[in-house]
């Protein structure tokens, strides 16, 4: 089983729609969680960290469910510029190894 798994999508949504997707992780001792964004095979860039209590950054909301071992990302009022691949990243508790999911592709259409 992969350490981090994501629904690859693609999620095709119209502008203004809400889209949400999850990422599951296998190591229950994982401590740190993040969402990165990657445009068309360019370098990934940090979108937001995921905190235990959940957190928002503008139209983006991230949540962590430790009991079920998944994190989620919700995008409200989707913009064309939100079209990208979203990568889930998990860091274990005992080392500095980063585990990336394969990414969820979101396409926002006009």
Per CB under 8 A, contacts with another protein among 7-36 are 8, 32, 34, 36
Q: Which is nearer to another protein, 17 or 60 (CB)?
A: 60
Least distance between another protein and beta carbon 38 (Å): 9
Is residue 66 within the footprint of another protein (CB under 8 A)? no
- Bridge pairing between strands 60-65 and 55-57: antiparallel
Q: Find out whether 24 and 4 touch, Cβ atoms under 8 Å.
A: yes
Region of 1-9, 14-22, 54-62, 65-73 interacting with another protein (CB under 8 A): 1-9
Is residue 45 within the footprint of another protein (CB under 8 A)? yes
Q: Burial code of 4-19, b = ≥16 C-beta within 10 A, e = fewer?
A: bbbeeeebebeeeeeb
Report the alpha-carbon distance of residue 91 to residue 97 in Å, rounded: 6
Q: Using CB under 8 A, pick the residue from 47, 71, 89, 106 that binds another protein.
A: 89
How many CB atoms are closer than 10 A to CB 59? 13
Q: Tokens 């259409």, residue?
A: 109
Binding site for another protein (CB under 8 A): 4, 6, 8, 32, 34, 36, 41-46, 49, 87, 89, 91, 95-103
């Amino acid at each position: 089983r992969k350490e981090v798994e994501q629904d690859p999508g693609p999620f095709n949504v119209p502008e203004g729609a809400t889209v949400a997707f999850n990422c599951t992780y296998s190591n229950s001792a994982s401590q740190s969680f993040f969402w990165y964004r990657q445009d068309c095979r360019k370098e990934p860039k940090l979108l937001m960290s995921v905190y235990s209590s959940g957190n928002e950054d503008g139209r983006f909301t991230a949540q962590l469910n430790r009991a079920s071992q998944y994190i989620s990302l919700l995008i409200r009022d989707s913009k064309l510029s939100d079209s990208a691949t979203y990568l889930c990243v998990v860091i274990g508790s005992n080392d500095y190894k980063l585990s990336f999911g394969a990414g969820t592709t979101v396409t926002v259409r006009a």
